Structure 1
Amino acid sequence: MQDETDTRLPDTARRVADLLAAMGHDRQVVMLPATGKTSAEAAAGLGCDIAQIAKSIVFRRLSDDAAVMIVASGANRVDEGKVAALVGALGKADAKFVKERIGYAIGGVCPIGHVQKTVMLVDEDLLKLDNVWAAAGHPHAVFNLTPRQLLDMTGAPVADVALRA
């Protein structure tokens, strides 16, 4: 059963809310008053640390044109060289590629509910946190979960993907 708040979600966020409910996730999708397209915007809207934003970065693997998603701490920049060493040479994924392969528009890319099989890696730095916030299919929609729940929901392996100074 859905509550009244859920019925006002945009379609893509509703899809995520329904998927989370089917997984038995106990936290709801939250709509931010302002956009959460960037980690800084989402953290400001939630009143949390930027590191707690589990941002989804999508690349295109050159060998087979597969979508490659990195779920990284909002405090980190992704090191494309480290990722390529793990999954193969990468190219840029434009908005059309992301929408077609993942099923969400850039700015609201959720780590679950993809329309096609996605190669995924989770930033090891997220595991240092008690909880994180991930996009829920819309630039204003997010949901809270633990890093363990993120790993269980995605089935993605943990990797060192951060660019280190």
Structure 2
Amino acid sequence: MSAEKVREYLKEKGMADRITVHQETIDTVEHAAIQVGCSEAEIAKTLTFLAGGSPVMVVMAGDVKVNSSKFKAQFHEKPHMIPRDQVNALIGHEPGGVCPFAVKEGVEIWLDVSMKRFGVVHPAGGSEFTSVRVTPRELEEVTGARGWCDVCKPQKAGA
């Protein structure tokens, strides 16, 4: 159901042709990079948090992780991920297909600067089998993101 919402959303924005449906799951950064045919860093992973009691979505490069201190500086509290069983109710997508497209009203979308180093990134498209090919600038425009933030740090090798 979520993938259809995303397809309709992107169609309205003139970007439905950017969706790719994969034969294998893209439920992790590693799986997504294999299916898309890019580096793990170019996968735009989407994490969801509660900040001030409201849902906040941060889209970031696949090779970084959230830094608690940076997150707190941006959002004025420590990062608390939305529990898996509440993601769909609060965001509008099931875990594995969470993406910054066609989210519920009131969800703040932020883009981490870690994606700016790429010409193209690949967020999920509403299911564990769909991805969307966009430039970081297009991602900002099509999602109506609140802006760019710097809340991540590189993952340690082997992490």
- TM (normalized to structure 1)? 0.86
Q: Matches of residues 1-165 of structure 1 in structure 2 within 5 Å?
A: 11-25=1-15, 27-61=17-51, 63=52, 65-89=53-77, 90-156=79-145, 157-164=147-154
Contact 2:74 2:151 in 1 (8 A): no
After superposition, the C-alpha distances for 1:25-82 in whole angstroms (9 at most, x for unaligned) are 2633211211111111100111101111110001112x3x211111000011111321
Give the superposed CA RMSD: 1.5
Structure 2 counterpart SS, 1:98: helix
User: Structure with the greater relative contact order (CA < 8 A, sep ≥ 6): 1 or 2?
Assistant: 2
Distance 2:17 2:71 in 1: 31
Quote the sequence identity (%). Answer: 28
Structure 2 counterpart SS, 1:40: helix
Shift in Å, 1:97: 2.1
Contact 1:27 1:144 in 2 (8 A): no
Q: 1:26 and 1:119, CA in 2 relative to 1: closer, same or farther beyond 3 A? A: closer
What code does the residue aligned with 1:152 have? E
After superposition, the C-alpha distances for 1:65-106 in whole angstroms (9 at most, x for unaligned) are 211111000011111321221113232311232111110011
Q: 1:95 and 1:29, CA in 2 relative to 1: closer, same or farther beyond 3 A? A: same
Name structure 2 gaps, 5 residues minimum. Answer: none
Shift in Å, 1:155: 2.7
What code does the residue aligned with 2:150 have? D
Structure 2 counterpart SS, 1:77: strand
Name structure 1 gaps, 5 residues minimum. Answer: 1-10
Contact 1:13 1:29 in 2 (8 A): no
Contact 1:67 1:98 in 2 (8 A): no
Distance 1:38 1:82 in 2: 24
What code does the residue aligned with 2:112 have? D
Contact 2:7 2:16 in 1 (8 A): no
